Amino acid sequence: MSQTLQSVRGMNDILPDEAEFWELFEDTVRSWLKAYGYRPIRMPIVEPTPLFKRAIGEVTDIVEKEMYSFEDSLNGEQLTLRPEGTAGCVRALIQHSLAAQQPRRLYYMGPMFRHERPQKGRYRQFHQVGVEAFGFAGPDVDAEMILMGARLWADLGLDGIELQINSLGQPDERAQHRAALIAYFEGHVDILDDDAKRRLHTNPLRILDTKNPALQAMCAAAPKLIDYLGAESLAHFEGVQRVLKDAGVPFTINPRLVRGLDYYNLTVFEWVTDKLGAQGTVCAGGRYDGLVGQLGGKSTPACGFAMGVERLVALIRESGGEPQAAAPDVYLVHQGDAASRLAFRVAEGLRDQGLNVLLHCGGGSFKSQMKKADASGATFAVVIGDDEAATGEAQLKALREEGIEQRKLKVDDLAEAIIGQLIDSDEEE
């Protein structure tokens, strides 16, 4: 007997009840982004592997251990399933000369891929909403992006999400801090774990982000990047804080917040929660002014963030939100050859008027069809038999409200009657 095929570990099916919830979430997100002037962009899922090595950094965990990379068997090109969206968005910006025309506010949604251990809220195929702004050099866009997050949590009815911010300064300032960090960690090499030793001379900043409890106290006492920032970097960071304070958005400065990607500079931020276990970050980002130039484009200031859809959906459900399946306005019941032919015309006519219609398929008695009509959640049943078909009529039956008598109407009058009843019901509520 052949083995039943299963989905790939860490790559999950999203079934209809949950998928409808995702669509409601995505609709909310699209309206929220439109309110801030962001426009959609869609990039390929597969990109050239060198794009991510150059953008993310060859000594990052993502590039070293997590990317799904392969060789195209037809031309030998090295390709990778995208592990994040910013690099591809910047590549598209450069390729199509978008930044040369005007500052850009862009967003995208879709799957990303990283080969890591699946756990709650973290999967090998996961979905992100990415938001990127190009051509804005000041701290105002950084601050606006953070305020956007605060508004979205309110729109989604979420609380308990806390904001952490930091500044990574500029490359020369990080270089000074890096040298100090290496010297400090070399003085504590006897307690470093294997991962920290591996990163000591390649990416020492990431040691500060360790999850090893044995290293926490040592890392807490390490040299802090903010002490190496120059006047311009400090002014930028203070500008972000000023907007947040004026808007009444509470935040914590976390000097160990460094982010896992090499391209960040100046502002970095994370929105975190303790309601999802260890995987507490639901939205994160920052400024990356050097990335466009690094990938071959004209130097362009840039800032962006990404949020994990799975984590936010889990948080909504953790907070008591539940998906509501979209019920049709009408379930169309029919029996008999003439009735079935008329039913198709009636269903399309009702849809032309903006109504959602579920047309019964598969035959069955009127009784069994009416049971399915009731189970569908539809507000009305439209019933057509051969007798009704002969006179061009149909029975209209309310399924959710008592006291409304079933009545026979000409099929051309159905839409007006149904819409009128729906409007009356909304006004009563």
- Residues 117 and 247 both lie in one domain: yes
Residue 48 and residue 84 in one domain: yes
pLDDT of residue 118: 76
- Kindly state whether residue 206 falls inside one of the protein's structural domains: no
Question: Are both 131 and 272 inside the same structural domain?
Answer: yes
SS3 112: strand
pLDDT at 389: 93
Residues 36 and 100 grouped into a single domain? yes
d(CA 156, CA 2): 45
Q: Show which of 268, 284, 318 is a domain's final residue.
A: 318
Digit-by-digit pLDDT tens for the chain (429 residues) are 568 889 889 889 889 888 888 988 899 999 999 999 999 999 999 999 999 888 887 667 777 788 889 888 889 899 999 999 999 999 999 999 887 778 999 999 999 999 888 777 678 999 999 999 999 999 999 999 999 999 999 998 888 899 999 999 988 888 898 899 899 888 888 888 888 888 888 888 778 877 888 888 888 888 888 889 999 999 999 999 999 999 999 999 988 787 766 688 899 999 998 887 665 889 999 999 989 998 998 999 999 999 999 989 888 888 776 656 678 999 999 999 999 999 999 999 999 999 999 999 998 999 999 999 999 999 999 999 999 999 999 999 999 888 788 999 999 999 999 998 887 766 565
Strands of the sheet with 78-81, listed across from one edge: 46-48, 78-81, 68-71
Name the domain count of the chain. 2
How many CB atoms lie under 10 A from the CB of residue 229? 22
User: Which of 275, 293, 318 represents a domain boundary (last residue)?
Assistant: 318
Q: What local confidence, expressed as pLDDT, does residue 59 receive?
A: 65
Decide if 186 is inside a domain: no
CATH (domain of 415): 3.40.50.800
CA distances in angstroms from 209 to 49, 194, 218, 260, 339, listed in the order given: 26, 14, 12, 9, 68
Q: What is the pLDDT of residue 194?
A: 86
- Does residue 395 share a domain with residue 257? no
Whether residue 345 is found in the same domain as residue 406: yes
On whether both 91 and 68 belong to a single domain, the answer is yes
Q: Can you tell me which residue has the tokens 């040369």?
A: 100
> Of 251, 283, 318, which marks where a domain is finished?
318
Q: Check whether residue 304 and residue 415 sit in a common domain.
A: no
Question: By the 8 A CB rule, do 334 and 384 touch?
Answer: yes
Co-location of 163 and 267 in the same domain:
yes
Closest CA to 346 of 378, 375, 373, 383: 383
φ, ψ at 396 (rounded to 5°)? -110, 120
- For residue 357, the enclosing domain spans 330-421
